[in-house]
Each structure stands twice: as C-alpha cells, then as structure tokens.
Amino acid sequence: MTNQAFILLCMVVFGVVGTCHGGSLRKGYYKDTCPDAEEIIKKATEKHVANDPTLPARFLRMHFHDCFVRGCDGSVLLNSTTNNIAEKDAIPNLTLAGFDVIDDIKAEVEKKCPNVVSCADVLALAARDAVSFKFQTPLWEVLTGRRDGRISRISEALANIPSPLSNFTALVRNFTSKGLNVHDLVVLSGGHTIGVGHCNTFSNRLYNFTGRSDQDPSLNPTYASFLKTQCKNLSDNTTFVPMDPGSALTFDNNYYVTVKQNKGLFQSDAALLTNKGSRKIVDELLDSKKFFTEFAQAMKRMGAIGVVTGNEGEIRKKCFVVN
C-alpha cells in the first residue's frame, strides 16, 4: 500500500489522519542513510539523563503529548510564531520540560547526518532511551521512519490531550479516537510511576470536588491529608508532588499498587478503578513481569499513532521551527 493510499484509508475509516497507526515505520529505518543515528541518540540521551534523573519522566510525557495531537510527528516541539500559537503553549503542555535537551540531541545527530533523522524519531528514541537508562537495556522497541509535521495548533492540544480530571468514559473516548483500547489506557497510565504532578491538576480533589468545598471520597484519607500539607489551596500552580509516592524516579509497576490503595494522584488515575474491566487489568499489572511486557507493546502502538511517513511532512533541521 502506498503512503497516499494509507492516508486515504485513514481518512475514510477514522475521519482524520491523526488516529491511524503504522504507516511505513520499520526497524532500522536509518541503517543506510545514517547507520549510527540510534547510537548517537542513545549516547546523547544517556549523557543528559546521568546528570538529570527527572528527564525520563519528562521525555515520556513529551512523547505521549506529541502522539496524542496530530500523531507522533514532533509537532509538540515547534515554537509559536507571530501568526500561530503552537501546542507547546497549551495549558497541558506548559509544564513540559526538556525541549532544550531534545534540541541538543538533534544537534548531535545533525553533525553526523544532516537533514536525515526527524525530530519525531529523535523524541521517540530519546523517550525510550531515557526510561531504559537505569536498566541498561531497551525497555521497548522503537520503529523509525517518522517525518516531522509542519502544523502545531494550541486548539488541537487542548482538544486531544487526556485531562487528569477525566472520568473513565472520557478517557476511553479519547484513547479510542487514537486507535487505542482500554487495555492500552490502563497500561500507558503506568507511565505515572515516574514524574510529578502539579497541585492545580488535582487540588480540586482535596478542596472542592463537587463544588461544595468537599474532598473526593475515593481518595485515601491519609494520603489526602498529606497532599493538603503540600498543596495549600486551589490556586497553587507551582508546587508539585510525586505521582508515585516514594518511587518518582524509579520506573516500575508500583503505580498500580498505589492506585489499588486509592492513592492515585489524579482523577484519571482513580477512574481506572471505576470500571470492572479496567480494575481487572490493574490487578493483572501488579505482576511486574507482565507490566514490563505489556508496557513495551503499548508504547509501540502509541508510537505509531498518526505517523507522517514517505514523502509527507519534512525533516526539520532544528526541532523548534519548520524548515
């Protein structure tokens, strides 16, 4: 199937290009044009992660936010211009960090292979390599061949990035629109085992859950009391806490333990216990081996959402601006 035919099929089946999977991604896409590309990205990523252990969570989240808006096309990396406010400046993305590091990694690749490797692939590989750093082995396979999109709109980020305030129905609707299912939703939520959450993304659960100055009854009371010592009021948008208490820098399946204890930080975490099917998956992922296996498969599926391939898009020289 040609790339044009694939895109046409996507438009017929899904209504938009951004939900289709796969395209022409393949293993070792750059083996002829830039054989050292993946090793260059890995070494550059590991150098930065060694100095900043928060980068794995930051890159994983950035990759997720990129893929959920127009597909995994590097559009989240683009800066706003005089005539356009980009995804990067949407509220859900204001707490993304590490763009400068992605730019640095891309620059390392450009030195060896100018105008060959896309920013979308750099981000996908850097996310994998950053999370895998402590394990010294790749945690999931990243197929390559993505090209960079030229469009980045704030409105699309607001419409497509799952909200931490979402209930189960909204989450399923969002993931389904990307060609992902409930299993993917629960597995990918496990990414919350690393990183932090800002108070304003969950403080309504502490102080005004139903608009009556009340607390979310599904939130562990002891944990809620602790969170109140960190997040003093609803307007605090600078303080942050670990999403996985005591394990914010360790990539493991402990997230599901905390969710089962009703200590999921966001409403979207707690939502996983409100459906029988998703509760069953949470229970299954308490098995560490199963979690790592399932997470690897789900990341491969997510990394193929709406990819731009073939002659579409471009290869950006600098990730923050179109050529």
Amino acid at position 58, single letter: R
**Distance between CA 321 and CA 7 in Å, rounded?**
25
Amino acid at position 122, single letter: V
Beta strands in 9-160 (DSSP E): none
**Distance between CA 41 and CA 118 in Å, rounded?**
12
Question: Is residue 87 classed as helix, strand or coil in its secondary structure?
Answer: helix
Backbone φ and ψ for 305, nearest 5 degrees, come out as -65, 125
**Distance between CA 255 and CA 191 in Å, rounded?**
8
Q: What share of the chain is helix, strand, coil (3-state, %, to 5)?
A: 50, 5, 45
List CB contacts of 282: < 8 A, sequence separation 6 or more.
186, 256, 259, 260, 272, 273
List CB contacts of 5: < 8 A, sequence separation 6 or more.
none
Partnered with residue 198 across adjacent β-strands are: 240
Backbone φ and ψ for 240, nearest 5 degrees, come out as -135, 155
Catalytic residue selected from 48, 65, 183, 192: 65
**Distance between CA 27 and CA 243 in Å, rounded?**
33
Q: Which among 179, 200, 170 is positioned nearest to 274, based on CA atoms?
A: 170
User: Cβ distance 74 to 319 under 8 Å?
Assistant: yes
Residue 65 appears among annotated catalytic residues: yes
Cα–Cα distances (Å) from 156 to 3, 66, 90, 308, in that order, read 24, 11, 9, 17
Catalytic residue set: 65
